[in-house]
Amino acid sequence: MYLQVGFIDKMVAGRFRTLINDAETGVGGNEPLFVLDNHDKPRWDRYGSTPDIGRVLSTVIIASRDTAMYYYGDEIGMVTTTPTRKEDVQDPVGVTGWPKEKGRDGERTPMQWTGAPNAGFSKPGVKTWLPIPASAAATNVAAETGRPDSMLSWFKALARLKHEVPALKVGDHVMLNPQDSNVLSWLRRAPGADSVMVICNFSPKPQKVSFDLKAQGIAYANIKTLLKTPGADDPASLNGIALKPYGVYILQLRR
């Protein structure tokens, strides 16, 4: 069973919560597959233009109990670039449906490796199958490598945590604060290891949340921030955690 995030076209915490629960409980203990994007759907920016939305979505698919799959370019924040001229269209859907239907070329543009001509995807002077988006000048692997606040650094940090933190690697998945319509949060637990909380604000407004984990048998006093939205403060406790718009925290509950 898999969760196709691409079938959810709005940032609605409750909808994500329901589908993730269905995936987590409907596979007989096996690990579900979560998919962020594919070549038939507009990219993550269909939810909104702020990169923090991309951070929320990537956190959902990578920090859950699942096998995570994402589409090329998601890891640098590539956006949908819909053709503006019919002569640039390659997708048969766009060729026959223009201008009402412009096809799926917008999510299929070349991978943006550098800010050089043709984005480092092809040699300069070679005409690529689809045009190189203007966004490639700033959104590319070379420009984002080593920049702590970049989307690439965020994806690398998530992947590292997924591999190195036992609770995120093999732990179970328990939803928290299930009535919260703005914030999606869950707990990852693994035997003999510190538990991890993941908190994602699905709204464009700041949110404040608190957690009581006694029902999960947890009464930790110490927390450690493993990953957070750039510019956010480290929370001191599980009471009154302040989230930026589309903010994310991954917190380790230290024994």
Terminal Cα-to-Cα distance of the chain (whole angstroms): 34
Provide CB contacts within 8 A for 64, sequence distance 6+. Answer: 20, 24, 34, 173, 186, 198
- Is the same domain home to 57 and 152? yes
How many structural domains are present in the chain? 2
Which long-range contacts (C-beta less than 8 Å, at least 24 apart) are formed by 73-76?
73/43, 73/111, 73/112, 74/36, 74/37, 74/43, 74/44, 74/155, 75/151, 75/152, 75/155, 75/156, 76/112, 76/139, 76/140, 76/141, 76/144, 76/150, 76/151, 76/152
- Is the same domain home to 127 and 238? no
CATH number of the domain to which 215 belongs: 2.60.40.1180
Q: Mean pLDDT over all residues of the chain?
A: 94
What DSSP line would sit under 151-167, residue for residue? HHHHHHHHHHHHHH-HH
* pLDDT per residue as tens digits for the range 11-26: 999 999 999 999 888 8
- Is the same domain home to 154 and 237? yes
Q: What whole-number distance in Å separates Cα of residue 182 and Cα of residue 200?
A: 9
Question: If we measure between CA atoms, which residue out of 67, 17, 20 comes closest to residue 202?
Answer: 17
For residue 113, give its domain range. Answer: 80-138
pLDDT tens track, the chain, 255 positions: 556 655 678 999 999 999 999 988 888 889 999 998 899 999 999 999 999 999 999 999 999 999 999 999 999 999 999 999 999 999 999 999 999 999 999 999 999 999 999 999 999 999 999 999 999 999 999 999 999 999 999 999 999 999 999 999 999 999 999 999 999 999 999 999 999 999 999 999 999 999 999 999 988 769 999 999 999 999 999 999 999 999 999 999 987
- Is the same domain home to 84 and 62? no
Question: If we measure between CA atoms, which residue out of 40, 71, 31, 67 comes closest to residue 54?
Answer: 71
Half-sphere exposure of 119 (CA within 13 A, CB side): 22
Q: Is residue 95 part of a domain?
A: yes
What pLDDT, on the 0 to 100 scale, is given for residue 219?
Answer: 80
> Is 58 within 8 Å of 74 (Cβ atoms)?
yes
- Is the same domain home to 173 and 226? yes
- Is the same domain home to 133 and 154? no
Query: Whole-prediction pTM value?
Result: 0.95
What pLDDT, on the 0 to 100 scale, is given for residue 129?
Answer: 95
What tokens appear for 65 in the block? 């109990």
Question: If we measure between CA atoms, which residue out of 69, 91, 71 comes closest to residue 79?
Answer: 71
What pLDDT, on the 0 to 100 scale, is given for residue 7?
Answer: 64
* pLDDT per residue as tens digits for the range 47-89: 999 999 999 999 999 999 999 999 999 999 999 999 999 999 9
- Is the same domain home to 133 and 87? yes
Strand partners, 11: none
Provide CB contacts within 8 A for 160, sequence distance 6+. Answer: none
Total Cβ atoms within 10 A of residue 237: 12
- Is the same domain home to 100 and 133? yes
Q: Which of 103, 120, 138 is the last residue of a domain?
A: 138
Sheet with 33-35, strands from edge to edge, namely: 2-4, 33-35, 67-69
> Is 16 within 8 Å of 202 (Cβ atoms)?
yes
- Is the same domain home to 97 and 169? no
